Amino acid sequence: MENFRAYRIDQQDGKIVAGFATLNIDDLTAGDVVIKVSHSTINYKDALAATGAGRILRSFPLVGGIDLAGVVVSSENDSFTEGDPVLVNGCGLSETFDGGYAEYARVKADSVVPLPTGMDAAQAMQIGTAGYTAALAIHRMEQNNQSPDGGPIVVTGATGGVGSIAVDMLDGCGYAAVAVTGKAEQSDYLKSIGAKEILIRDEIDLGKRPMEKAQWGGAIDNLGGDYLTWLTRTVNYGGNIASIGLAASHELNTTVIPFILRAVCLLGINSVDTPRDLRLQVWNRIGNDLRPRHLDTIGSRTIGFDELPDAFQAYIDGTVTGRTVVEIGS
């Protein structure tokens, strides 16, 4: 196989150094499926890894990118054959294995997911890890008896990738989605993708008592910190809070009162290490009842591979709305 381009992250003298490199397939971490990558995407985690703003990689050097979509070139596993359209998200990409920012990827078969019927590679990456995480949260909540009858679902960090797709999916499934955002200027965007109500983050009275007035059937939280504490105080009896991110803080200061008096459930959502059976279930739902209806609005931004290095800082600065797709190859 010919040499190919990859965006590689390394560590030199304790500092992160990232840039394009020419590799061959033997330079990649071990795997039994080789994929010609056509599209990837940018997640907050990708920006942390590429800029060194967060400690993401567990070994160096590695190709960046926690998402990829393309077609199988070769497979040592009978589950996949040449030409199969596939995707990979999470599963240690750009942590312990080479990721999706390369024209070719070599991955373990257990991490490979067939592209959902009726979905192309670009659409799969408009969804990517962000959309998968949103779907996993809804799936876990519904496994724990969440339903639209339980009341509105709050989504914090609603203009981000996870938040935007969560709002879309919730609305499509009959939930009343309440969007919490620090970007008041994006209210029209949030309404266009299904939000029934907009709350401006800095205007929320977070309360001080162990329990405040119950307002929500459940929540999907991307912030952590005081906002997650607020959700524990205000979710109604039997409601689920899916904890996804820590954009505000990794800390949580609360009491056991909401859990023992209102039976509130706090669900941890890990999109990286999901068992394969559950991963396939969730992607199947993304191709069916959880298929986002506003992908062209949420994922309207597409950049070329050459533009990738200049795209990360906006994620660190928190100025990005929706999703960014990266075109890797034809």
Q: Which amino acid is at 130?
A: A
Share of the chain above pLDDT 70, in %: 99
Q: Which amino acid is at 243?
A: S
Residue 195: pLDDT band (50, 70, 90) is: very high
Tell me, yes or no, whether 258 and 192 share the same domain.
yes
Single out the residue of 245, 151, 259 nearest to residue 210, CA to CA: 259
Within 10 angstroms of residue 276's Cβ, the number of other Cβ atoms is 13
Tell me, yes or no, whether 311 and 263 share the same domain.
no
Share of the chain above pLDDT 90, in %: 93
pLDDT one-digit tens code per residue, 46-80: 999 999 988 888 899 999 999 999 999 999 999 99
For residues 105-116, average pLDDT:
97
Total domains, the chain: 2
* 291 part of a folded domain: no
Looking at the DSSP bridge assignments, the partners of residue 181 are: 200
Single out the residue of 81, 139, 84 nearest to residue 116, CA to CA: 84
Tell me, yes or no, whether 34 and 106 share the same domain.
yes
Give me the domain span that covers residue 223.
Answer: 129-268
Give the Å distances, CA to CA, from 180 to 106, 157, 170, 327.
Answer: 39, 6, 14, 31
Helix (H, G, I), strand (E, B) or coil at 8: strand
Task: Provide the 8-state DSSP code for 96.
Answer: T
Report the pLDDT value the prediction gives residue 132, as an integer from 0 to 100.
Answer: 98
For residues 291-299, average pLDDT:
95
Are the beta carbons of 87 and 113 closer than 8 angstroms?
yes
Looking at the DSSP bridge assignments, the partners of residue 216 are: 235
- Note if the bond before 85 is cis, omega within 30 degrees: no
How far apart CA 222 and CA 134 sit, in angstroms, is 10
- What average pLDDT is seen over the chain? 96
Residue 93: pLDDT band (50, 70, 90) is: very high
Report the pLDDT value the prediction gives residue 313, as an integer from 0 to 100.
Answer: 95
Rounding to the nearest 10 degrees, give the CA dihedral for residues 267, 244, 282, 217.
60
Helix (H, G, I), strand (E, B) or coil at 318: coil
- At 51, which helix (H) or strand (E)? helix 44-51
CATH assignment at residue 20: 3.90.180.10
pLDDT one-digit tens code per residue, 305-327: 999 999 999 999 988 999 999 99
Tell me, yes or no, whether 145 and 87 share the same domain.
no
Tell me, yes or no, whether 77 and 147 share the same domain.
no
pLDDT one-digit tens code per residue, 271-288: 999 999 999 999 999 999
* 45 part of a folded domain: yes
What is the Cα 225 distance to its own chain's centre?
19
Structure tokens at 48: 């942390």
For residues 222-241, average pLDDT:
97
* 286 part of a folded domain: no
Q: How many residues does the chain have?
A: 330
Are the beta carbons of 153 and 177 closer than 8 angstroms?
yes
pLDDT one-digit tens code per residue, 141-186: 999 999 999 999 999 999 999 999 999 999 999 999 999 999 999 9
Report the pLDDT value the prediction gives residue 330, as an integer from 0 to 100.
Answer: 63
Looking at the DSSP bridge assignments, the partners of residue 19 are: 8
- At 226, which helix (H) or strand (E)? helix 225-234
Torsion sign, CA atoms 75, 81, 85, 90: negative
* 312 part of a folded domain: yes
Of 223, 246, 268, the residue that ends a domain is: 268
Helix (H, G, I), strand (E, B) or coil at 122: helix
- At 33, which helix (H) or strand (E)? strand 33-42
Report the pLDDT value the prediction gives residue 1, as an integer from 0 to 100.
Answer: 66
Report the pLDDT value the prediction gives residue 13, as an integer from 0 to 100.
Answer: 86
Single out the residue of 94, 123, 119, 115 nearest to residue 8, CA to CA: 94
CATH assignment at residue 250: 3.40.50.720
